[in-house]
């Protein structure tokens, strides 16, 4: 990491990701978390692709060390990495409509990948198309709170940085 990267912008974005990860530790409505929001945010604002993945994933890993792990964590982290990549599409334009579309896409991706992982891990649902359907149908009630949480936290993260850049122009100048 070079000195150009250690700017107020870098530390602000990093702090925002770490705070978002820490919010996972507070009591919250099921699946109403900052996971997709912080992955999108990291992908959109860290210009260094390695940092786009590393900082949000390390932040998530730190919170998971406290929350615990389960057998389908690989799917959560795979989804998270794919959502960072969706965030790359927001680098040139962070219009509200683009951020909302990326967030909804991220919610659908997370729902699909993680529930497929639950089904494929076996034990709960039969390894049939019917079992896969049952798995996805059983998860539908959680999708709403996931989507609302993703939209809320993406809105807070993207909005807060955009407002901060207006108030503190030094945050808008340097690349991270």
**Owning domain of residue 69:** 8-22+33-112+138-170
Q: Is 37 inside a domain boundary?
A: yes
Q: Is 2 inside a domain boundary?
A: no
Band of residue 6 on the pLDDT scale cut at 50, 70, 90: confident
Q: Is 86 inside a domain boundary?
A: yes
pLDDT digits (tens, 9 = 90+) for 80-134: 999 999 999 999 999 999 999 999 999 999 999 999 999 999 889 999 999 999 9
How far is it, in rounded angstroms, from Cα 97 to Cα 31?
A: 23
Q: Is 122 inside a domain boundary?
A: no
**How many domains does the structure of the chain reveal?**
1
Q: Is 93 inside a domain boundary?
A: yes
What confidence score (pLDDT) does residue 176 get?
52
Strands of the chain, DSSP E: none
What confidence score (pLDDT) does residue 3 get?
63
How far is it, in rounded angstroms, from Cα 129 to Cα 101?
A: 29
Output the CA–CA distances (angstroms, integers) from residue 149 to 11, 121, 154, 156, 172, in the order listed: 24, 26, 8, 10, 27
Structure tokens at 55: 């900082």
Which pTM does this prediction carry?
A: 0.91
Q: Is 53 inside a domain boundary?
A: yes
């Amino acid at each position: 990491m070079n000195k150009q990267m250690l700017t107020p912008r870098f530390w602000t974005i990093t702090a925002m990701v770490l705070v978002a990860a820490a919010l996972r530790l507070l009591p919250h409505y099921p699946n109403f978390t900052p996971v997709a929001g912080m992955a999108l945010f990291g992908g959109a604002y860290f210009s260094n692709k390695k940092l786009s993945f590393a900082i949000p994933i390390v932040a998530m890993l730190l919170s998971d060390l406290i929350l615990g792990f389960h057998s389908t964590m690989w799917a959560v982290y795979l989804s998270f990495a794919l959502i960072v990549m969706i965030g790359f599409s927001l680098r040139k334009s962070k219009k509200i409509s683009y951020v909302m579309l990326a967030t909804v896409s991220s919610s659908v991706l997370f729902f699909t990948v993680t529930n497929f992982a639950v089904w494929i891990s076996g034990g709960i649902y039969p390894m049939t198309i019917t079992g896969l359907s049952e798995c996805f149908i059983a998860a539908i009630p959680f999708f709403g709170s996931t989507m609302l949480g993703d939209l809320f936290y993406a809105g807070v993260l993207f909005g807060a940085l955009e407002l901060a850049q207006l108030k503190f122009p030094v945050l808008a100048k340097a690349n991270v």
